[in-house]
Amino acid sequence: MLKAIFFDFDGTLADTAPGIVLTMQKAFQQMGLPIPSDSDVRQTIGLPLLEAVRRLGHFSLAQAEQGVEVYRQLFPIYEVGHVSIFPEVLSTLKILHSKGLRHAICTSRTGVTLDLIMQRFGLSPYFETKLTCNDGCAPKPAPDMVYAAMKALGVEKAIYVGDSDVGDNCNFGCGTVIANSDGTVKEFGEDPFAGKYIPLFNDIVACNTIG
């Protein structure tokens, strides 16, 4: 019997893209560098922040680390105020919680920024543990965060819910559900762990027996 559901955060529970784009552009502006386009920034969402900054600026490691520090300084000013929770996220979490399902978050976001957003929208009570880029796990699509979440909750069966396309490099180590909140059709590759695509977040309730 399924005991736990693990969630991605950006693009799955929360629409963070507008805030990420604005904050990244402000960071590059403050550093006196060419400002990346909206589309270029959006293509890096989901990557660890250091990697996103490095790619956008074609930076060395030292330059990227400087960019990350500027971004983090600007985060409370710009990003937090432009984040919203997708419709039906809270109501769905309440239903799943009432069914006895345990929840964790697996995200490339930092723990500090994740906590700020979760507290703002009242999400914290629904999650027993959070795995972030600060926890030393290899970033997704490696399965390390999922395994760490399973160990933290003491469960052997779970599903992972995220918004990204699931392709040949996906190996989350458990059943996978794509929850589409942006209207874009998502595709599964040939990976054996890819399990189901759903058009709306609250449809998770109807498919919570896979794993």
* Percent of the chain clearing pLDDT 90 (strictly above): 42
Which residues on neighbouring strands pair with residue 106, listed in sequence order? 131
What pLDDT sits at residue 23? 95
What pLDDT sits at residue 73? 93
Position with higher pLDDT, 50 vs 196: 50
Question: What's this model's pTM, rounded to 2 decimal places?
Answer: 0.77
Residue 199 has pLDDT above 80, yes or no: no
Q: Looking at residues 43-53, what average pLDDT do you find?
A: 89
Task: Using DSSP bridges, classify how beta strands 84-85 and 102-106 pair: parallel, antiparallel or unpaired.
Answer: unpaired
Distance CA 177, CA 197 (A): 6
Q: Among 5-14, 90-99, 139-148, name the one with the lowest average pLDDT.
A: 139-148
pLDDT per position as a tens digit, 108-148: 888 988 998 999 999 999 999 999 988 988 877 778 888 89
Distance CA 111, CA 117 (A): 10
DSSP letters, 131-197, are E-GGG-PPPTTSSHHHHHHHHHHT-S-EEEEE-S-B-TT---SSEEEEE--SS----B-S-TTEEEE
Q: At what angle do helices 49-57 and 17-30 cross, to 10 degrees?
A: 50
pLDDT per position as a tens digit, 59-74: 999 999 999 999 999 9
Where does the pLDDT of residue 200 fall: very low under 50, low under 70, confident under 90, or very high at 90 and above?
Answer: low
pLDDT per position as a tens digit, 145-196: 888 998 999 988 888 887 765 444 444 555 566 555 554 544 444 443 344 5
Residue found by looking up tokens 């507290």 in the block: 119
